[in-house]
Structure 1
Amino acid sequence: MKTKKLNPVLMGMYFFLLTLMVACSSSDDTPEPEPEPNAPTIALNQPTDLTDLRVLVGSPLTFSFTVNAEAGLSSVSLNGESIKNYDGTSTADTFTYDFTALENGSNSLVFVVEDALGKTTSLSAVAIEAVGDIGFLLADFGGDFVSSTIEVRAWETDRSINVFNITNALAPETTTVETVGKQSEYVYGADNPDTEAPIEFQGKAMAISKIAEPNWGGWDHNIFNLGEAIPSEMINALPQVADPVDGGLTTDNTKVVQIDAYYDDTVDDDWSFSDIAAIDGDAPQGADKTAGYQVELTLINYAQHSVNWDGAGFYINYRAHITEPNKWVTLTFELLDNSRLGSFYGVNEEAPGPDQVDGFKIVGNAGYTGMDQNPVYFRNLRIVDAQ
């Protein structure tokens, strides 16, 4: 029996058609999968040198980041706590974050970015050593401006109420400052005027300078509202009025109030630090022109003082002096303003008690009868142990 041979040409065409049908079927039924978005990324821009990173307790250290996420950004967190959230539509961002240590010791910071799909990427842990003892921090003065509104006061047509970020030992994350009669202007989160300052004076500050008009004898009244009362045990531990007639301060106190200050006399061409004691005329309210640039610190009840004339709502008023310009100094408030003695707790029955102090006022008055516009920088108002 003869066996028929298959035509090789026909066989080739058959296999070609079969392969083509399979390929077409595969292409139509199984589309190529979409590639998955890449994991998010996070980059630390600042600080650039992470070796032996040290900060002063109570002083913020600014970090700068750039984050990206193809799937959309969801959040950035520090040690499991969110520091910035997104709605999932943004794919890139650059932002800053201020870290503040409130007690000394070692800190390990792990920053993590998460995208809208739940994917995360973390930076290597950043080691920071916090040094120093800031005591009971009332205001770090390094926070940025938040907002401003205008309110009417009985003796003023309007007053700006300025909100800024704050770090302190109390609960609020923001506080307000207002100036009587538009006497001052503020720079919030100001760069440190001394880039080579020792670590205890490093970090951002608040710069306050006087406004040329109106001239109220060279004084500028700056009222701060903490929004929460300072613990009465802290207030009771400070120097008190020693005598309701002769004034003075008690000496059995266990704590004092301090602030870091820097008088920059390079800004106002008409004034220098040496001009302060050379002003003609008597300094009002017992100020000593020869002692330097006087800074008054008044502990107040904000609700009473902010809407009333000078003296209302005062708990006590301390004085200290900046004795040299263009240098950070620490002021310790151990002098009493005897000229307002009748307004203070222990003398005036209407004065707020130690459990009602929820604000403070800073008055700078180097000019007395003049008006220097040199800025004064302030950092870290705090209650510390008396030496």
Structure 2
Amino acid sequence: MALRLRRVFRLVLASLFVSLYVLFRIKVQNTQAVVDELLDAIVQAHTPQTSHTSESFWRIQNELTAPKSPRDFRLQTDLVEQTCSLLRTKRVLLVGPQTTYYLHSLWLDALSAHDDKAHECSGIDHCRFHHICLPPGYATSQSRYKAPPKDEKLVSTNSSLMRYVLSTSLYTASSKNDAGYTEPIIDPRTGIRLKNAFWLHYARQSQVLLLNRGPIPAPKPTYAGNWSFLEDIPRYLRPGDSLIANAAFHATTTFFIPEVLHSLHQFGRENATVLWHPSWYNGFVARPFERISDDPWASYYNLQGKRISTCGTEFDLKFLTVYMQNYVLEKLLPLHGVYFLPRFGPARAPKDWESPGPKDGLRYPMESSNARAMVVSLLKSLVVVLDQA
């Protein structure tokens, strides 16, 4: 009798678990359907009345595809050669946060074999320029400029110039002496420092621009577990939906999208090919991070990777903002003449994103196959766009 009762009890528990799981999935799916519908309305609201994007632009945008396999890096050498042939004499500018700097580092690493030299960088805050796509046999000593090579040198050597500029919010004041570039600025909405270097001058000189703006983080108190700010945000979603999802929607639609579009319209880009690389999930990449104390802002970013239970459903604000912002920008940016590159990771946050202890949640080890797959995706996209634009 006792054995039978235990079996019945286990069956009841299993049935209850399945029922709760189904209800949970229905709730998440319904919430996501509501969010997607609202995001589509935001896209519609920001759609220009007259789109200047041509049929050829849309053909190129539709052709952009990510690698079929995360380990598909067999064509890296060919892609580097193709990319260099399409970038001859051009200036390339990358502007964005830590993720953009990581892509710049992956690209430089892939170029090292082609250029027969290691492209060293002074760091995310002090990157000056890189003379890339060098001709065969070009002496390393000749390419170590104190000042960037002029257009004449790029033409005579059939080479290219790459720059990376750190900008966490794509700030676009016209003067390099603006306080937003020269003084520590704390975002009053979040309490977190914005890091922006002057980049408009370089943008107007460049023929190829690769841009990104990272997700707007939750306010600083959330890193210590204080999520009281959720109660002060206007309601966009249904009463039963997550307050965190509501906050992510608010940040995306009220601040992120309008500010990105404002930045894009502040510099002359008529003669430039402008591309946007998507953000990926904090925690999608996980490896030991021995020097986390040396980078407090990376620490903030990673410490926020913590699930919060709201209304009986678990969400993560960082994941939600990445999803929402990629969703909108993928549809909206091409309408404004900006190519949106394929995602480098899964469209949604992985279920097993958590790992014990501190982690670098944004960068694969440089030598890993996954890192090479990311650079292949980037180079494939550049070849598709530059070959036809």
Q: Could you say which TM-score interval applies, normalised by the shorter chain?
A: under 0.3
TM score, norm. by length of structure 1 = 0.24
Bigger relative contact order (CA 8 A; separation at least 6): 2
Identify the structure with the greater strand proportion: 1
TM score, norm. by length of structure 2 = 0.24
Identify the structure with the greater helix proportion: 2
Larger Rg: 1
